[in-house]
Structure 1
Amino acid sequence: MARKEKAALTDLEARLGYKFRDAELAARALTHLSAPATGRQGRLDSYQRLEFLGDRVLGLAVAAMLYEAFPQASEGELSMRLAALVRRETCAEVAKEWEVGPHVVLGVGEAQAGGRKKAAILSDIAESLIGAVFVEAGFDAARQLIARSWRARMYAVEEPERDAKTAMQEWAQARALNAPTYIEIDRSGPPHAPQFTIQVSLEGFAPAQGSASSKRAAEQAAAQAFMARQAGMENS
């Protein structure tokens, strides 16, 4: 790696609080699929595999942080907090704080299209860097990196609304109705970032739907949609 590039990586490492031993690994974590450097290897030389791994490491680390930080929180509340902390927008915010933009290697077209400022690319880079740290130094090092940038966000997230599924079940019980039923009606997106659509049904009422990146979160969204609709009808 050239001296100028090495200095730039050193600057990024200072913001990450982690120093890479393998500069090539760090470079791959910063290389978009559009970059000429990917050459014949294509996806194997881009950050995509590291992003795939980093996404899972981030989810596990944040889930563990939430479990420890909110001992009284229900599974539904933890799921909603997790979804807010690992979503694309949050990861992109972290990448901006790390100032990764100038370090991202892009193809000419993507660079001219403002790729270094795109939330999707910034989010992927945040996760790929986490994946690279995990590959090189293991989960504990990756967890520390995540904690430095996500812990304050974890406490800043407002308390989620009451577990919508529980609220809907209690609402149904109060009216002597059978428990709501949930069915998956659609699944889209790539395997590493699926999107589920769940429909909730309650006897005597029109069904409601909700979508999210996990079945449980989608069920919560569907229940919330049902309760919001009923509240609107009752208040009208």
Structure 2
Amino acid sequence: LYQDGGLELARKVFLDLWSEEFDRAGQGRPRDPKTALQEWAQSKGRPLPSYRVLDRTGPDHAPEFTVQVSVKDVDPAIAKGKSRQEAEKAAAKALLERVGG
């Protein structure tokens, strides 16, 4: 397959045939939303998710971050959190819930 069709075709066929097995194998361990979104994007042959801070409000001792996560060919998701990391996890979770990942 690789010799006839190249790396991208071989990768696509491999992921199509084995993605369900990989999903089942990972069901026993909890994953944080950012890792789960990264794995979902890779399983679909897409680049890694990108995160962008859209806003930071509130005082220094109690900030609120608004973060957007984007994956190629998917509408971005936006979420808020008390830290950048918390907002990124919430955005990743929202995007995963929307795409069914």
> Shorter chain as normaliser: what TM range?
0.5 to 0.7
1:183 aligns with 2:52: yes
Segments of structure 1 that go 5 or more residues without pairing to the other structure are 1-160
**Pick from 170, 186, 199: which aligns with 2:39?**
170
SS at match of 1:198: strand
- C-alpha separation in 2, matches of 1:221 and 1:210: 6
- Return structure 1 stretches of 4+ with deviation > 2 angstroms: none
**Pick from 192, 211, 218: which aligns with 2:61?**
192
- C-alpha separation in 2, matches of 1:196 and 1:164: 17
2:35 is aligned with what amino acid?
Answer: T
- C-alpha separation in 1, matches of 2:72 and 2:39: 14
Percent of aligned pairs with the same residue?
A: 47
Deviations 1:112-151 (A, max 9, x none): xxxxxxxxxxxxxxxxxxxxxxxxxxxxxxxxxxxxxxxx
1:213 is aligned with what amino acid?
Answer: K
- C-alpha separation in 1, matches of 2:44 and 2:98: 17
SS at match of 1:187: strand
Tell me which residue corresponds to 1:224. Answer: 93
Task: Give 1 or 2 for the bigger CA radius of gyration.
Answer: 1
Between the two proteins, the alignment pairs up a number of residues equal to 72
Kindly state the Cα deviation for residue 190 of structure 1 after the two structures are TM-superposed.
Answer: 1.0
TM-score (norm 2): 0.68
- C-alpha separation in 1, matches of 2:78 and 2:38: 16
- C-alpha separation in 2, matches of 1:162 and 1:170: 10
Segments of structure 2 that go 5 or more residues without pairing to the other structure are 1-29
Kindly state the Cα deviation for residue 226 of structure 1 after the two structures are TM-superposed.
Answer: 0.2
1:215 aligns with 2:84: yes
Q: Residues 120-199 of structure 1: matches in 2 within 5 Å?
A: 162-199=31-68
- C-alpha separation in 2, matches of 1:180 and 1:201: 6
- C-alpha separation in 1, matches of 2:93 and 2:51: 13
Kindly state the Cα deviation for residue 210 of structure 1 after the two structures are TM-superposed.
Answer: 1.2
Deviations 1:19-58 (A, max 9, x none): xxxxxxxxxxxxxxxxxxxxxxxxxxxxxxxxxxxxxxxx
Kindly state the Cα deviation for residue 201 of structure 1 after the two structures are TM-superposed.
Answer: 0.4
Q: Residues 1-236 of structure 1: matches in 2 within 5 Å?
A: 162-231=31-100
In proportion to residue count, which structure has more strand?
Answer: 2
In proportion to residue count, which structure has more helix?
Answer: 1
- C-alpha separation in 2, matches of 1:215 and 1:228: 20
